[in-house]
Amino acid sequence: MHRWEGAFSIMGLCNIGVEVRVAGNSKRSHYASIQMASKLLQRLRSTPLKEERGPGPPDEPPESAELVDDTEGLSLRLSGTLSLSEDSLASQESDGMGTSYLGSDGHGESKSQDENSSYTLLTKQLREMWERSQNVRIPIRLTFEVTDANIVQDAHAKYVLYTIYLLQTGQYDPSPAYISCRYSDLYHLKRRLLALFPSEMRGVSFPCKRVRKNFTPETIAKRSRAFEQFLCHVASLPALRASSAFLNFFYLRDIQKAQALTCAGLYKLALPIWTNSWRLQEKLCPSGPSTHRLLVLAGLVVCHQELDTLEEAQAFSERAVALLQDAQDKHISLLVPFLNAHIQLSWRVGIDKRESEALLQRLQETGHYNHNVPSLKEFLVKETIS
């Protein structure tokens, strides 16, 4: 009996069960017939069927029967993990794994060896492509992105406050910096740059002022995109990017605010402002030392030291000493306070301080060191930021 005939028999048994239930209205008879059909189905599936086939094409069973046979015992027949690698492919040739599939004439073995060599060549090409891609240097570019725009209304005016993030493309940026500004702030920046660099700023587009509809979503969205393009264009020009007007626009007010909070003893409020100002300077300013950069480093050292985060304070003091060693004559008055702080913090966190002590000794021998040198906190209080 063929499998499909058995299936029809089982269907007939099920129909009998249905007839019994309809005729006698007995649930017990219906359940008994279903159990009988289920047992028969299990016997048919577990017992191998012997078929006698005559001449001619074999009969094709229904698709449902094929699905049952294909999946029966699949987990027992197939097990393990498929893994392809260059080593495993190469080992087939050395261990004689590439056996013949066509007989003793050797064509199957040569075909297997050709396939293995092609796989090895492909793996080698992929590895070379990956190594070449690692050696390609992606240019790092500074970009600006408006991430938020809030409508603010105080006692004096109503305006839109834009939050603009500074990001470095071409690499992972672990420390993005941001600024918050109004339309009028960016408009004044454009006016100052136009007065200082008329030829470079000629043709630079900027959104015009509007009398009405300044707070509609369409106007805010268009201005946001225009601000991004304007700042990216200005930052791409070396003369404009290094100008004091452009740099002070980003961090001068924050430095003044952080200095006031530090002098008032509000170190926890001042620290985030110092940190963001330092990140802005890292992205915008040249690598050399400047008064504003050293002032921010002094604020970071003082705040971290007062908040008892000594490892961060020691790291920023070490960064300041490294910057000052390149320009000792210009900022000699700040080198000694940073050296004193660096020696003290290195001793407290257990880091070698002998190099800084030797540098301080040389400064003392040359007459640049005296005992009336102000501390970093005193330097922050006395320094006027303009």
Domains 139-241 and 247-386 share a fold: no
pLDDT the model gives residue 44:
60
Fold classification of 247-386 (topology level): 1.25.40
Q: Which amino acid is at 91?
A: S
- Position of tokens 């960016």? 186
Provide, for the chain, the percentages of residues in helix, strand and coil under a 3-state DSSP scheme, each rounded to the nearest 5: 65, 10, 30
Which residues, at least 6 apart from 311, have a Cβ–Cβ distance to it below 8 Å?
A: 349
Residue 385 confidence (pLDDT): 81
pTM of the predicted protein model: 0.64
pLDDT score of 386? 73
Which parts of the chain have pLDDT scores under 50? 1-27, 49-55, 57-58, 60-106
The pLDDT, as a whole number, for residue 133 is 61
Whole-number pLDDT of residue 345: 95
The CATH number of the domain covering residues in 139-241: 3.30.1520.10
Instruction: Give domain limits for the chain.
Output: 1-39, 139-241, 247-386
Name the pairing type of β-strands 141-153 and 158-169.
antiparallel
Return the H-helix or E-strand segment holding 149.
strand 141-153
Residue-level pLDDT at 76: 43
- 3-class secondary-structure state, position 150: strand
